[in-house]
Amino acid sequence: MENNRFDVKVELNIDTVQSGELTHTKISEPGQFIQMGDSMYLRFNESLDNDDTASILVKITESGEIHVKRVAKSTNLASLLYFTHQKHNTGHLETEYGILPLQTFTKDSKVEIVSNPLSGKINIDYDLIYDNNVIGNYKFRLIFSA
């Protein structure tokens, strides 16, 4: 299958509850939607302080599994998390001090993609787990459109 690439506008909202405290992150950036074979990818950058960026890649597999990779070179942090509806998955966080194994438990996930005009939604509700302890509850809401 040929590679299909489209410029898209990405809006990502993440609500995080850690130690009883709610934080909200909003990212609104241009990005690219790419279809290669049976997988779909969304690529965009997150603006950080000091005019720096982190690159984010979201992969949706044919089976509906979602992979989220985030790399921030300036802070030497990279994470790769996997999400499968109602399942535990193992991922990791790479730091300058080494690799920390992380787990996710996907409470709910939904992917809706429409081809004409190209648009979509990716919703993930999950727990982030380190050393068998839930360290945060997350609501990941990504909307994109061409």
Q: Domains in the chain, start-ordered, CATH in brackets?
A: 4-145 (2.40.128.20)
Question: Would you state the pLDDT for residue 3?
Answer: 61
For the chain, give the secondary structure using H, E and C.
Answer: CCCEEEEEEEEEEEEEEECCEEEEEEEEEEEEEEEECCEEEEEEEEECCCCCEEEEEEEECCCCCEEEEEEEHHHCEEEEEEECCCCEEEEEEEECCEEEEEEEEEEEEEEEEEECCEEEEEEEEEEEEECCEEEEEEEEEEEEEC
Q: Which of 138, 114, 146, 143 is nearest to 24 (CA)?
A: 138
Question: Would you state the pLDDT for residue 112?
Answer: 95
pLDDT in tens, the chain (146 residues): 346 899 999 999 999 999 999 999 999 999 999 999 999 999 999 988 777 899 999 999 999 999 999 999 888 899 999 999 999 999 999 999 999 999 999 999 999 999 889 999 999 999 999 999 999 999 999 999 99
Question: Would you state the pLDDT for residue 99?
Answer: 97
pTM reported for the whole predicted model = 0.93
Question: Would you state the pLDDT for residue 48?
Answer: 84
Question: Would you state the pLDDT for residue 1?
Answer: 38
